[in-house]
Amino acid sequence: MLDRVTGMQVFVRVAALGSLSAAARALGMSQTMATKHMAALEDRLGTKLLHRTTRRLSLTEAGRNYLEAAERILSEIDEADSRAAISVAEVRGQLRLNAPVSFGIREIAPLLPDLCARHRGLTIDLGLNDRYVDLVEEGWDLVIRIGSLTSSSLVARRLAPCPTVVCASRAYLDQHGRPKTIAALKEHNCLGYTLSRDAGVGRWQFGRDGKVSVAVTGNLKANNGDALVAAAVAGHGIIYQPAFLVARELADGNLVPLKLDHPTRELDGIYAAYPSDRRPPAKVRATIDYLAERFTGSCS
């Protein structure tokens, strides 16, 4: 089946130039192919668009009526193509960016005013979710992921490392003692993050590869890291969290890092990812470059 748009282009050129051969040359195709496109277009419409004589071609009444619509449609297609090309080349339009709740609030949101100031044509729709989001199904342009990436459908750029820390408040440690080994954690109130496989509920993993683990118990668990940080600061127990989440509290002395006999598990990293089946527009590329610039050496 011949392309309908190409048929329209042939017809519009024939109407403008007065012959199929001239239209074919203008479109870079053979006269035979131009003739086939015209015939297919007329067959599809069920009417003749051109009067053909040995000397010239002229429009039928149906052809004159169709010409106006065809010119408008082709113009709209050209405009749509131009807009799409501009969106790929220029940093403009709405960027739908999704990030984990705590990381988004602490690390991403403070950077967005400067990003928008750099690119005046950019607007940002920031979504915060700790659950796994499907970029394609939910319409996100870009997502921030923490930890190992398992999906081959995404193209990802590593923004920063993501070390972790075991810590508690001085008040808790003064009352319950300071553990010095991971085995000693069994005797403490360990607050579990329900969305983590490495530092969740019931078992915490240690070592660079996470192969050393210890069973833990605690009377509080949550699906949000900030909730656990707040509980730890209040003296409720020990937490095992990414360094970015407790950096402020450690610096202020509200939490104290614990040095144990095994190193903490370093998460694979912090990534910016987008679907692999599409060419990222300029707004996505510019945002990733900006985040990589700002996160160099941070979150560690």
Task: Using the predicted structure, report yes or no on whether residue 18 has a pLDDT greater than 90.
Answer: no
pLDDT score for 88: 52
Beta bridge partners of 205: 213
Q: What is the mean pLDDT of residues 76-84?
A: 70
Rounded to two decimals, the pTM is: 0.66
Among the ranges given (105-119, 146-160, 205-219, 253-267), the one the predictor scored with the smallest mean pLDDT: 146-160
Residue 107 lies in a domain: yes
Task: Using the predicted structure, report yes or no on whether residue 120 has a pLDDT greater than 70.
Answer: yes
pLDDT score for 54: 63
Distances (CA, A) of 230 to 93, 164, 168, 220: 38, 17, 11, 12
Question: For a pLDDT cut of 70, what percent of the chain falls above it?
Answer: 92
SS3 breakdown of the chain: % helix, strand, coil, rounded to 5? Answer: 45, 25, 30
pLDDT score for 16: 83
Q: Which tokens sit at 275?
A: 């679907």
pLDDT score for 2: 67
pLDDT score for 72: 87
Where a domain ends, among 61, 85, 109?
85
Residues 284 and 216 placed together within one structural domain of the fold: no
Task: Using the predicted structure, report yes or no on whether residue 110 has a pLDDT greater than 70.
Answer: yes
Task: Using the predicted structure, report yes or no on whether residue 171 has a pLDDT greater than 60.
Answer: yes
Residue 271 lies in a domain: no
Q: Kindly report the CATH number assigned to the domain that includes residue 197.
A: 3.40.190.10
Residue 166 to residue 243: CA distance in whole angstroms: 9
Choose between 242 and 79: higher pLDDT: 242
pLDDT score for 281: 84
Residues 61 and 98 placed together within one structural domain of the fold: no
68 pLDDT tier (thresholds 50, 70, 90): confident
Residue 123 lies in a domain: yes
Residues 64 and 99 placed together within one structural domain of the fold: no
Residues 242 and 288 placed together within one structural domain of the fold: no
pLDDT score for 252: 95
DSSP code, position 235:
T
Residues 206 and 238 placed together within one structural domain of the fold: yes
Among the ranges given (37-46, 199-208, 276-285, 291-300), the one the predictor scored with the smallest mean pLDDT: 291-300
Residue 249 to residue 172: CA distance in whole angstroms: 15
Q: What is the mean pLDDT of residues 42-50?
A: 90
Residue 112 to residue 138: CA distance in whole angstroms: 22
**Which residues form the domain of 69?**
4-85
Distance from chain centroid for Cα 22: 47
Mean pLDDT of the chain: 88
